[in-house]
Amino acid sequence: MLTLLAFLTLILVYWFTKPRKQDTNLPPGPKPWPVIGSLHLLGEHETPFQAFTSLSKVYGDVFSITLGTSKCVVVNNFNLIKEVLITKGADFGGRPDFIRFHKLFGGDRNNSLALCDWSSLQKTRRSIARTYCSPRFTSLQYDHVNAVGCKEVSVFLVELKKKDFSQPIELKPMILAACANMFTQYMCSTSFNYDDSDFKKVVRTFDEIFWEINQGYAVDFLPWLLPIYKGHMEKLSSWASDIRKFILARIIDEHRLSLDHNLPPRDFTDALLMHLDEDPNLNWQHIIFELEDFLGGHSAIGNLVMITLACVVKHKEVVKRIQQEVESVTGGKRLPTLFDKASMPYTEATIWETLRTASSPIVPHVATLNTEIDGYTIEKGTVIFVNNYELNVGEDYWDEPEKFKPERFLSPNGNVVKPAHFIPFSTGKRTCIGQRLVQSFSFILLTTLFQEYDIEPACDLKLRPGCVAVPPDCFKLKLTPRNK
Ligand code: HEM
């Protein structure tokens, strides 16, 4: 044993004292340990992004870090982030090759729109989705988003009224069900009963996946740990197959039977099925995965609504201003619609402030060729972390960044203004496709909830920084019906 320890010590001493290679122009960074690289440095903070910010103070705004055996580079300021995402977006169109990502998408992460490498297929998939997932504010499609959002929020209110308001309420499953129905109604022209056990199960599974995707695991960078994660990986594969069964049985089969190629597509599902027949580069798997991917977007919105509630109810003055704003527009006599949004800048600003403080991480990108950032060499295959956390909470970018202040997104004349460096949905060719749906459905749900209920915390509402997800089983809230 002693011999082994002495041997290991020798290896470590050699490792840390051997001269560094001088023949490269790689960004500077901490010297990696054997096997784990610099993974231990990330564990010293609540979120890896805080570690990136503190390392950038030592090594500069672009630095290298080895995680396990993966070569990574972290980019920390807005100008360099634009270089990665926009100017050289074409060089950084890949995604990391984590085993978990493959497990979640039928064994191949390229089935996923968010986790695939850039390709002509991805371009086609994004373009099919654009009309439905990024509708223009003046389009008929946007009117449809509004109609669906309003219809589903009314159903949600009926369900909510059945609850016992003398007790704290577990709101998340209901919010997720409402979001899921907004998505299935909008994209597939169908919705489900809140008591439907298959629907409840699939909504829960989507939420488990959303939470999962927002976690980091050592196995992502240390694939030899896989045997320890065997059970976990099997669970991920089974989630994916449960969702597939539901979508085929309860949505696609019926849709295919009633599809009429001579009429314009009724919805996103029709559009996908029609493309399948017209585009030889698309196959059945592509279509199903694309639909699953987009339907799964509802979990992101449900989680954002929960996080917004958690942020807002801690600040009574914010709740009051939102309620005053909603009532000044609807008079409390009707439910809010998307067309009220322009008259409710404070409420919209509150959603932006939540996105800022929650600071959703940008999915890591990967260099698909040898290239440069800020004059440094970046080798093909390098994983690029965009430190969006720094853009959201850095003192160089915000006044009192630690405070929850929706008014920072309002101009002196009361209009919503967003600084250019605020990019919660990223920017460039891989920017989020679902952002209009996020802004629309979260607005309808939140304004309706605050118009109809007084909402207070029922427990400590601590949120994890740098994370736009809350665990599937999370906090309860105290709701009191208003003016009834
Ligand atoms: C709180 C809600 C959401 C936030 C904060 C968010 C944020 C993001 C971010 C930061 C990215 C990464 C962009 C990049 O890598 O540069 C992304 C990608 C993506 N998002 Fe969202 N998103 C949200 C909801 C949604 C929804 C509801 C949908 C679908 C309807 C959606 C669809 C996508 C897709 C398909 C991509 C991948 C695009 C690509 O890689 O080409 N997102 N999102």
Which residues have C-beta within 8 Å of that of residue 292, sequence separation ≥ 6?
243, 244, 247
Residue 73, H or E segment: strand 70-75
Q: Which atom of ligand 1 is nearest to the CA of 116?
A: 40
Q: Which atom of ligand 1 is nearest to the CA of 183?
A: 30
Give the separation between CA 402 and CA 381, rounded to whole angstroms.
35
CB 119 within 8 A of CB 108: no
- Identify the pLDDT of residue 22: 45
Residue 78 Rama label (left phi>0; alpha psi -120 to 50; beta): alpha
Indicate the pLDDT class of residue 359, thresholds 50, 70 and 90: confident
- Identify the pLDDT of residue 18: 53
Give the separation between CA 438 and CA 45, rounded to whole angstroms.
29
Tell me whether residue 217 is exposed, middle or buried, using C-beta atoms within 10 angstroms of its C-beta: 0 to 12, 13 to 18, 19 or more.
Answer: middle
215 pLDDT above the threshold of 80 = yes
131 pLDDT above the threshold of 80 = yes
**How far does the centroid of ligand 1 lie from the alpha carbon of residue 12, in Å?**
42
* DSSP code string of 205-268: HHHHHHHHHT---GGGT-GGGGGGGHHHHHHHHHHHHHHHHHHIIIIIHHHHHH--TTS--SSH
CB 404 within 8 A of CB 311: yes
Indicate the pLDDT class of residue 2, thresholds 50, 70 and 90: very low
Mean pLDDT calculated for residue range 106-128: 93
| Interval 57-73: pLDDT, tens | 999 999 999 999 999 99
Instruction: Give percent of the chain above pLDDT 90.
Output: 85
- Identify the pLDDT of residue 226: 94
Helix/strand/coil percentages in the chain, nearest 5: 55, 10, 35
| Interval 286-329: pLDDT, tens | 999 999 999 999 999 999 999 999 999 999 999 999 999 999 99
Instruction: Give percent of the chain above pLDDT 70.
Output: 95
**How far does the centroid of ligand 1 lie from the alpha carbon of residue 114, in Å?**
7
Pocket of ligand 1 (CB under 6 A): 85, 113-114, 122, 126, 133, 294, 297, 300-301, 304, 360, 362-363, 424-426, 430-434, 437-438, 468
Q: Which atom of ligand 1 is nearest to the CA of 363?
A: 15
Nearest protein CA to atom 32 of ligand 1, as residue: 434
Nearest CA to 69 out of 33, 24, 35 is that of 35
Q: State whether the Cα torsion 457-322-466-412 is positive or negative.
A: negative
CB 475 within 8 A of CB 307: no
Indicate the pLDDT class of residue 1, thresholds 50, 70 and 90: very low
231 pLDDT above the threshold of 70 = yes
**Largest interatomic CA distance in the chain:** 80
pTM for the full predicted model: 0.94
| Interval 233-260: pLDDT, tens | 999 899 989 999 999 999 999 899 999 9
Burial code (b: 16+ CB inside 10 Å, e: under 16) for 97-130 equals: bbbbbbbbbbeebbbbbbbbbbeebbebbbebbe
In the chain, what is the straight-line distance between the N-terminal and C-terminal CA atoms, in Å?
Answer: 75
Range among 177-191, 217-231, 249-263, 352-366 with highest mean pLDDT value: 177-191
**How far does the centroid of ligand 1 lie from the alpha carbon of residue 468, in Å?**
11
Which DSSP category does 66 fall into?
Answer: E
Burial code (b: 16+ CB inside 10 Å, e: under 16) for 165-188 equals: eeebbebbbbbbbbbbbbbbbbbb
Mean pLDDT calculated for residue range 458-464: 90
Q: Whole-number mean pLDDT of the chain?
A: 93
4 pLDDT above the threshold of 90 = no
Helix spans in 64-119 (H): 78-82, 99-104
Mean pLDDT calculated for residue range 125-133: 92
Nearest protein CA to atom 19 of ligand 1, as residue: 432
Domain harbouring 194, CATH code: 1.10.630.10
CB 41 within 8 A of CB 385: no
**How far does the centroid of ligand 1 lie from the alpha carbon of residue 44, in Å?**
28
| Interval 379-396: pLDDT, tens | 999 999 999 999 999 999
Give the separation between CA 143 and CA 36, rounded to whole angstroms.
52
**How far does the centroid of ligand 1 lie from the alpha carbon of residue 370, in Å?**
26
Nearest protein CA to atom 17 of ligand 1, as residue: 432
* Count of domains forming the chain: 1
Take residue 189 and report the two structure tokens written for it. Answer: 């022209």
Mean pLDDT calculated for residue range 161-174: 97
CA-angle at 436, arms to 363 and 246, nearest 5°: 75
Give the separation between CA 186 and CA 132, rounded to whole angstroms.
9
Indicate the pLDDT class of residue 216, thresholds 50, 70 and 90: confident
Under DSSP, is residue 455 helix (H, G, I), strand (E, B) or coil? strand
Nearest protein CA to atom 22 of ligand 1, as residue: 432
> Crossing angle of helices 297-313/197-213, nearest 10°?
80
Which residues have C-beta within 8 Å of that of residue 9, sequence separation ≥ 6?
none
CB 242 within 8 A of CB 205: yes
Nearest CA to 73 out of 379, 361, 430 is that of 379
43 pLDDT above the threshold of 90 = no
Mean pLDDT calculated for residue range 161-173: 97
Which residue range is the domain that position 201 belongs to?
2-481
- Identify the pLDDT of residue 265: 94
